[in-house]
Amino acid sequence: EFFLQLWCGSDPAIVADATVNLSNAIEHFNHLSYWVASCICTQPMATKRVHVVERLVALGQHCLELNNFNAVMAVVSGLNHFAVQRLKKTWARLSPRALAAARVLEDTMSPEGNYRNYRAIRQNLGAATFIPFMGLHLKDLFFANEVPKYLDDPDGPPPAPPPTSDSPAAATGDSEVRRGDPAPAPAPRKLVNLEKSWRMHDIVVENFVTPKQFPPFEEAALDELDGDDRRAQEFFWVIPHLDEAKLYKLSLVIEPRGQATIEAAKILSSWAAEL
């Protein structure tokens, strides 16, 4: 599906049909990221909001311990959402331990140096299982695909020189070879760029196909689960979250710009009383 996304054309319907699982994985990442931001912005009480942020940071730590880098990046993205980052009073009340843990998550998935820190950790995993940060490796595939598919053969004949201004073809604009004119040089031979092919192969195999990546498991059908297992499965199928506009509106309510207005204070008080 990674290759099909690059090569199956520009028709959105064809691309969507050929890359269902890949699209679901990307959608899951986005929903998880927005869920993190929604958990924070839907908590009107400052003390509980701080607790939610610290629990989400702990969630990111646990994902990092499991080498689930895709989930770590989703948590980091949610914490870095502009509606969350503007909550300066909330961040100021976090414990030093939580702030330090948040910085570790941020540094691990920092885009600096083309995600240098993440790539270094990924390369040093050895035989450990992991879930890669899919967005980065999709970008790697995209740029690898931009490399030319064919290369000129360095040992082949040189390309034909352009016609000179005093040649009959140049004078008349006629590109056909005339009797008595020298035969044109043969076109350079093209070679398949195997280095490009192997590069794209390595990106997919090293990050998505290697058997050590996912331990074997059996996925239970939803109707076979009950209790907490069923609720957890249903949650991950949907992952409820708010959109950009609602997140920002709630962010302004829980921490208004400047001094809080009486109206905002009433809304916040009424909201907290309903919880």
Q: In three state form, how does the secondary structure of 197-239 look?
A: HHHHHHHHHHHHHCHHHCCCCCCCCHHHCCHHHHHHHHHHHHC
| Alpha carbons 101 and 60: distance in angstroms, whole number | 9
| Span 197-206, pLDDT tens digits | 778 878 777 7
| Whole-number pLDDT of residue 211 | 45
What percent of the chain has a predicted confidence (pLDDT) above 90?
Answer: 36
| Whole-number pLDDT of residue 191 | 75
What percent of the chain has a predicted confidence (pLDDT) above 70?
Answer: 69
Contact of 185 with 158, CB cutoff 8 Å: yes
Q: Is the pLDDT of residue 59 over 50?
A: yes
Greater pLDDT, 230 or 28:
28
If phi over 0 gives left and psi between -120 and 50 gives alpha, with beta otherwise, what is residue 113? left
Average pLDDT over the chain reads 79
Q: Is the pLDDT of residue 102 over 90?
A: yes
| Alpha carbons 209 and 50: distance in angstroms, whole number | 39
Tell me the CA distances in angstroms from 145 to 21, 122, 139, 219, one per residue in order: 21, 22, 10, 34
| Whole-number pLDDT of residue 111 | 94
| Whole-number pLDDT of residue 80 | 96
Q: Is the pLDDT of residue 96 over 60?
A: yes
| Whole-number pLDDT of residue 187 | 65
